Amino acid sequence: MRFWNASWISPALINVLTIILAGVLIGAPLLVLNGFPLTFDDTPGYLEPAFNILHRAAQPAWTPPPDLSPHGLPSSNIFFLRPFGYMLFLLPFAGGWGVWLIPLAQGILAAAVLRAALTAAGAPERPGLFLGIAAVLGLTTSLSLHAATIMPDFLTGLAILLVYVVVVRWPALTAVQRLLTVAALTGTIVSHLSHLAILGGIIVLLGLWALWHDRAMLRSLAWGVLLPMVLAAGLLTGSNLLTAGRPVLSESSPVFLLARLIGDGPARDYLAEACRSRDYLLCGSLDSLDRSAPGYVTSDYFLWHPDGARRRFGDQPRFVAEAAEIAHNTIASRPAAVAAHGLANAAGQFVEFQPDDTLNDPVKPLTRRLFSRFPASVYGAFDRSLQTQQRFPRDGLALVQDLSLSLGILGLAALGLGRWRRVDGRVWMLILVIGMGLTLNAVVTGGLSAVHDRYQNRVIWLVPFAALVLLATARSRDLLPAGRTGRTGSGQPTGWNTPPGMGTGTPVVAGRLSGSPSLLRTAR
* pLDDT of res. 243: 82
* pLDDT of res. 56: 74
| CA distance linking residue 493 with residue 508, whole number of Å | 11
Find the mean pLDDT for residues 347-367: 92
517: pLDDT confidence band, cut at 50, 70 and 90?
A: very low
Q: Say whether pLDDT at 502 is over 70.
A: no
349: pLDDT confidence band, cut at 50, 70 and 90?
A: very high
SS3 38: strand
Least confident interval from 52-56, 98-102, 258-262, 299-303: 52-56
| CA distance linking residue 313 with residue 12, whole number of Å | 56
SS3 176: helix
SS3 403: helix
Number of Cβ atoms within 10 Å of the Cβ of 481 = 8
| CA distance linking residue 464 with residue 141, whole number of Å | 8
At 294-315, the pLDDT tens digits run 888 999 899 888 888 888 887 8
Q: Say whether pLDDT at 427 is over 80.
A: yes
Q: Say whether pLDDT at 341 is over 70.
A: yes
Number of Cβ atoms within 10 Å of the Cβ of 108 = 20
* pLDDT of res. 468: 96
User: 75-78 — which CB contacts under 8 Å span 24+ positions?
Assistant: 75/244, 75/251, 75/315, 75/316, 75/317, 75/320, 76/243, 76/244, 77/240, 77/243, 77/244, 77/251, 78/49, 78/243
At 1-34, the pLDDT tens digits run 454 455 556 788 889 999 999 999 999 999 999 9
Average pLDDT value for the chain? 85
SS3 514: coil
Reported as type and span, the H/E element at residue 521 is strand 520-521
* pLDDT of res. 81: 77
Give the closest residue to 156 by CA, choosing from 118, 109, 119. 109
SS3 105: helix
For the chain, the 3-state helix, strand and coil shares in percent, each to the nearest 5, are 65, 0, 30
φ and ψ of 487, to 5 deg: -125, 145
SS3 293: strand
513: pLDDT confidence band, cut at 50, 70 and 90?
A: very low
CB-neighbour burial class of residue 43 (10 A; exposed 0-12, middle 13-18, buried 19+): buried
Reported as type and span, the H/E element at residue 118 is helix 101-121
CA 458 vs CA 151, 153, 165, 192, 245: distances in Å = 11, 6, 20, 13, 33
Give the closest residue to 47 by CA, choosing from 104, 94, 101. 94
| CA distance linking residue 387 with residue 383, whole number of Å | 9
| CA distance linking residue 55 with residue 64, whole number of Å | 19
* E strand segments, 20-104: none
| CA distance linking residue 200 with residue 333, whole number of Å | 26
Find the mean pLDDT for residues 215-233: 95
φ and ψ of 200, to 5 deg: -60, -45
Q: Are strands 512-513 and 520-521 parallel, antiparallel or unpaired?
A: antiparallel
